[in-house]
Structure 1
Amino acid sequence: MDVLLLPALLLLCLLILILIPVIILYAIPVRSVLKFTTKDGTLRETVTVTWCLIGIEIAHDPVGTKAGVLVGSHILYTFFFDREHGPAPRAGEPETPVRLQAAQKKSIRLSYKLIQPLESLGSVLWQESRFEGATGRITLGLGDPAQTGLCYGYYWASRFVLEALRIHIEIEPVFDREVFSCDMDIRMSLRHPLRVIIAAVRLALNPAVRDVASVFRQRTPGAAAA
C-alpha cells in the first residue's frame, strides 16, 4: 500500500502544479492603462499592462521609446530604444517582376487562409475585453470666444451621457487664446487571459501562419544572400 501511495502523491502534486497556473491565468484578469499627455504641442503616450504583481510599461515621446518591467508599482528594469532606424538591410539578389508577382499571388492566397483563424482570435479578444473607464482633463481654447463657448456647451450637453459610459472628462475652457492640452487615462481589461492565450497558440500553430512567415522571410532583403 505504501508503495502505491508515493506515486499517487507525486501525481497529485504534479496535477496541482499544473492546475494552479491554469486557474490563476483563467481567474485573474490582465489590466491595461493607456495614457495620453499633450502639452505645448508635445505628445507622450504610455501603455501599462499588468497581471498579478508583474507588468510592463512602454512610454513614447519625441525623445524616444522606453520599456520598463514592473513588479508591483516599482520599475525593476528599463530598456531604452533609439529613435534612429536600425542598420540598412543588406542588398540581396534583385527581385524580377515575375518573381515579385508570384510571391504577391502566394501571399494573397495564404492571407485568405488566415482570415478564419484571425477571426477566431479577434472574437475571443472581443468577448474577453472590457472597457473599465476613462478619466481625463482637457484645456481647450480655439482662439475665438464664441467657438470655444459653443464647444464647451456641447461638452456639458453630452457630459451625463459620457459619465453613463464611464467616461469622466473635465474640460477647462480658455477664451482669450488658442491652446490645447490633455491628460487622459483609458483603462481596459481581459477577463480570462487563458482563453486569449489558447486562441493565440492555436493561431500560431496554424499551418497558414508558418507558410506566410516563410514567404515574408524569402522576401526580406538579404535573405537570398544569407
Structure 2
Amino acid sequence: MDELLIPVFVLASIIVPLLALALILYAVPVRVTFRLVFRDGHQEPALAVSWSVFGIRTSHAEGMTVTDVLVANHAVFSRTGSMQTRGTRHIPDQPAGLAGTPDAGEIVHIMQGIMELAGSFGPVFWRECRFEEARGRVTLGLGDPVLTGECCGMYWASRFILEASRIYLELEPVFDREILELDITAKMKVRRPLRILIAGVQLARHPAIQEAMRVMKRQSRRVPVL
C-alpha cells in the first residue's frame, strides 16, 4: 500500500501546484500602465506590468533604459542599460536567386497563415483586455493665437465624448509661442491572462509562425553586423 502512495504523492505534488497556478492566472488580472512624457523635444516612455503584488517596470530617459522588478510596488531589483546600438547592420548586395532568400510565393504563403491566425488570436486578446482610463495634461501652443484658440475650442467642444470613453485630458493653451508638452498615463487590465497565455502558446506553435521564424533566422544569418 505504501509503495502505491509514494507515486501518487509525487504526482499530486506536481499537479496540485500547477492547478493552483492555473487558477491564479485565470482569476487574478494583469494590469498594464503606459506613461508618455514629451517635453523639450524629448520623449520619456514608461511601461509597467503588474500581476497581484508582483510587477515589472521599464522606462527610457536620456538615452538610458531602467528596468525595475517590483514586489508590493517596491523595487527589489533594478538594472540600467544604454539605448545606443552596438553596431550598424549592413545588408550587402545579393545576386538574384541566392539560396536562402524567400521568393514571393513563400512570402505570400506565410502571410496568409499569419492573417488567419490574427483572426483567431485577436478576438481572444480584445475580449480579455479592458481599457480602464487615460489621464494627462497637454500644453499646446501653435505660435498663432487664432489657430491655438480654434484647436482648443474644438477640443473643449468634444471633451464630453472623450470623457465618456474614460479619457481625461487637461489642455493648457499657450498663445505667445509654439510649444507641445505631454504627460499622459493610460491603464489597461487583462481580466483572464491564462486565456491569452494559452492562445499565445497555440499561436507560437502554429506552422505558419514557425515557418516565419525559420525564414527570419535564415535571413539574419546572411546579414552581417558591422
Instruction: Please state which band the TM-score falls in when normalised by the shorter chain.
Output: 0.7 to 0.9
| 2:75 matches 1:104 | no
Distance 1:12 1:65 in 2: 43
Instruction: Provide the residue aligned with 1:185 in structure 2.
Output: 185
**Alpha-carbon offset, residue 163 of structure 1:** 1.2
Stretches of 4+ aligned residues off by more than 6 angstroms:
1-10, 89-92
Q: Which moved more, 1:65-74 or 1:78-87?
A: 78-87
Residue 115 of structure 1 and its aligned partner are, at CA, apart by 2.2
Percent of aligned positions that are identical:
36
Instruction: Tell me which amino acid in the other structure corresponds to 2:194.
Output: L
Tell me if structure 2 keeps the 8 A contact 1:90–1:221. Answer: no
Q: CA deviation at 1:58?
A: 1.8
Give 1:170 shift.
0.8
Moved more, 8-17 or 110-119: 8-17
Q: What is the number of residues matched between the two proteins? A: 223
Listed as ranges, the gaps of 5+ residues in structure 2 are none
Conservation of the 8 A alpha-carbon contact between 2:130 and 2:190: yes
Q: Which runs of 5+ in 1 are unaligned?
A: none
What displacement does 1:207 show? Answer: 2.2
**Residues 104 and 58 (structure 1), Cα distance of their counterparts in 2 relative to 1, 3 Å cut:** farther
**What is the correspondence of 1:32-181 to structure 2 with a 5 Å cutoff?**
32-87=32-87, 95-99=94-98, 103-105=102-104, 106-181=106-181
RMSD between aligned residues: 2.8
Between the aligned partners of 1:149 and 1:88, the Cα distance in structure 2 is 45
* Segment drifting more, 63-72 vs 19-28: 63-72
2-structure distance, mates of 1:75, 1:99? 50
Query: 1:89–1:149: structure 2 CA closer, same or farther, 3 Å change rule?
Result: closer
Q: Is the 8 A contact 2:64 2:83 kept in 1?
A: yes
Distance 1:149 1:90, change over 3 A: closer
State whether residues 89 and 223 of structure 2, in contact with CA within 8 Å, keep that contact through their aligned partners in structure 1. Answer: no
Conserved? CA contact 2:49–2:57, under 8 Å: yes
TM-score (norm 1): 0.84
